[in-house]
Amino acid sequence: MFYLFSINIYAWFALANLLFSIFFGILVLLHNPRKRLYQTFFFLNIAIAIWSAGYFFWQVSDNASDALFWTRILSIGSTLIPPFFLHWALALLNLNNKFKKIIVIEYLFSITFVLFSFHPLFISTVEPALFFNFWPKAGPLYTIYLFFNYIPLVIVGTYLICKKYKDSQGLERSRLKWVTVGTVLSFAGGSTNFPLWYGIPLPPIGSFLVALYPIFFSYSMTRYRFMDIRTVVTRSISFAIIVSLIAGVYSTLSVILSRSFSVLVGTRSNVIAGIIVAILVVVGYQPLRKVIAKATDKFLYKKAYDPEAVLSQIKEAAGSILDLEQLLGQICGILTDAFHCEK
């Protein structure tokens, strides 16, 4: 069904984007499933995940029939991205109530295009283009979708976020900075796919940028507590590292036992490896968790400070310096070092 896709970097980036989208979408939703901001972010990520899944399987398809099917699956995700993105942007900026009717209209408009995803009027066929074996060709309805749905909604949503960033100050500006950068780069990169749909010989080199959006978003969420899931993200990263280490140790032990002792080939080696790993987990889980948590915190919270240490330094300065000006200067220096003040 598939050709060797290990050399197809477009497929690998699509797969990475798929995994990132699902991970962060579920992570955010579980943190606060009742809040509109978190709901819209989840559905936006699901739409991107559908687009990424279709993109991946399309790129690794070895025949036109499969490639056409997956490009139509891809189109379902790409059609749903603009309304979910606009809705999320409005929720982010607390403008949901003001544009409630427009949101409903845009969802209905987008769903109409989704119903035509498998119709030749939307995607007519796939054929060789540049270095791709199969590339989709846009039908008349696809052009209408692109210019009357995708482009307007993306422009409006991006404009509102950029405007809010320009008008904001302090922590809010810092939070929106990376959201703005991620939004602009991801949509700018994704848009490089469109020229080839119309026979314009420009490769989709910006597709790589789409995978950057969860990186910028996650940085904003952890560094500036954007969407208030900083702790959840760090705990998830720590847990994922521990699970990966356990799986790696288990697999390595299974291979070593089966190769070293012929009587332990197969199920026996897996059972013994499982017992050894279970013992290691019981004995070493807590120390390992503390080490990984400390390393993760150091990486993500490298500008964080220990309140007790700061208070201890101030107390020591207050108890040893009698001159008021010198004391205030010392305290100012301690607070500046702790808070990493820029102004």
pLDDT digits (tens, 9 = 90+) for 73-130: 999 999 999 999 999 989 888 888 888 888 899 899 999 999 999 999 999 999 988 8
The span from the first CA to the last CA of the chain, in angstroms, equals 59
Rounded CA gap, 53 and 19, in Å? 9
For residue 312, which phi and psi values (nearest 5 degrees)?
A: -65, -40
How high is the pLDDT of residue 2?
40
Q: What is the mean pLDDT of the chain?
A: 79
For residue 247, name the pLDDT band (cuts at 50, 70, 90).
low
Average pLDDT over residues 281-297: 66
The one-letter code for the residue type at 222 is T
pTM above 0.75, yes or no: no
Q: Does residue 143 have a pLDDT over 90?
A: yes
Rounded CA gap, 215 and 340, in Å? 23
How high is the pLDDT of residue 4?
41
Q: Does residue 268 have a pLDDT over 70?
A: no
% of the chain residues with pLDDT over 70: 71
**CA separation, residue 154 to residues 25, 28, 98, 197, 291 (Å):** 19, 22, 18, 19, 43
Count Cβ neighbours within 10 Å for each residue of 280-294 and write b for 16 or more, e otherwise.
beeeeeeebeeebbe
Q: Does residue 284 have a pLDDT over 90?
A: no
Q: Does residue 142 have a pLDDT over 90?
A: yes
% of the chain residues with pLDDT over 90: 23
Q: Which of 47, 45, 68 is closest to 58 using CA atoms?
A: 68
Q: Does residue 209 have a pLDDT over 50?
A: yes
How high is the pLDDT of residue 176?
82
> What is the three-class DSSP state of 293?
helix
| Residue 340 or 81, more confident | 81
Q: Does residue 62 have a pLDDT over 50?
A: yes
| Residue 227 or 165, more confident | 165
**Residue 171: partners with Cβ closer than 8 Å, 6 or more residues away:** 224
How high is the pLDDT of residue 51?
93
How high is the pLDDT of residue 287?
72
Rounded CA gap, 111 and 283, in Å? 54
Asked if 208 contacts 13 with a C-beta cutoff of 8 angstroms, the reply is yes
Rounded CA gap, 110 and 63, in Å? 29
How high is the pLDDT of residue 246?
67
| Residue 329 or 249, more confident | 329
Asked if 106 contacts 85 with a C-beta cutoff of 8 angstroms, the reply is no
For residue 5, name the pLDDT band (cuts at 50, 70, 90).
very low
Give the up-direction half-sphere exposure of residue 255: CA atoms within 13 A in the CB hemisphere. Answer: 6
Average pLDDT over residues 250-267: 58
